Amino acid sequence: MNNIKVRIEIEPNTEDYEVTIKCAEIDEGVTKIRKLLAEGFSSGCQISFVKGDKEFFLPMTDILFFETEGGQIWAHTPTEAFEVKNKLYELEDMLPGFFMRISKSAILNVKKVYSITRNLTGASKIEFQGTPKIVFCSRNYYKELKDKLTL
């Protein structure tokens, strides 16, 4: 990423934000800019979590990971699991930038990662501090996860 020019145009009669990125190609820099913008605007996203007959509204920072299990989507906190009605691909678009897909069946809150046990031939085990919960990162997503953790 060489030069970034920021230009702001004020239009008094509009309530929308429009961001245009001009580039020769979509590269890592453009992807980072898009994710930063998405994080800034979606950090207040509200997802409905269900447990039994109760509906909960938790801060996204409380969530360790989302995973598919038994045909349902589950959001895991350190102590509980809540059902989520959204599909993983919908969550991927809604969630702040500190979440990322780590397998076909899981999305991870990278801010909550405590350790990774790398497995060169299979999925790497991700652990969280203060809870026995674990999730697995497939080999296809490992490098991207490692890059995001070391920024």
pLDDT tens-digit profile of 97-149?
A: 899 999 999 999 999 999 999 988 889 999 999 999 999 999 999 999 998 88
Residue pair 21/32 in contact by the 8 Å Cβ criterion: no
DSSP codes, 44-101: T----EEETTEEE---GGG--EEEEETTEEEEE-SS-EEEE-S-HHHHHHHS-TTEEE
Q: Kindly tell me the burial class for residue 133, based on how many C-beta atoms sit within 10 Å of its own C-beta (0-12, 13-18, 19 or more).
A: middle
Average pLDDT along the chain: 87
* Max mean pLDDT range (10-14, 90-94, 101-105): 101-105
Quote the CA–CA distance of 36 and 6 in Å, as a whole number.
15
**DSSP label at residue 135:** E
The pLDDT score that the predictor gives to residue 111 is 93
The domains found in the chain, sorted by start residue, are 49-149 (2.40.50.1020)
Residue pair 149/113 in contact by the 8 Å Cβ criterion: yes
Return the percentage of the chain with pLDDT > 90, whole number: 53
Mean pLDDT of 2-24: 78
CA distances from 32 to 26, 61, 131, 150 (A): 10, 20, 31, 14
The pLDDT score that the predictor gives to residue 130 is 94
* Max mean pLDDT range (6-15, 77-86, 117-126): 77-86
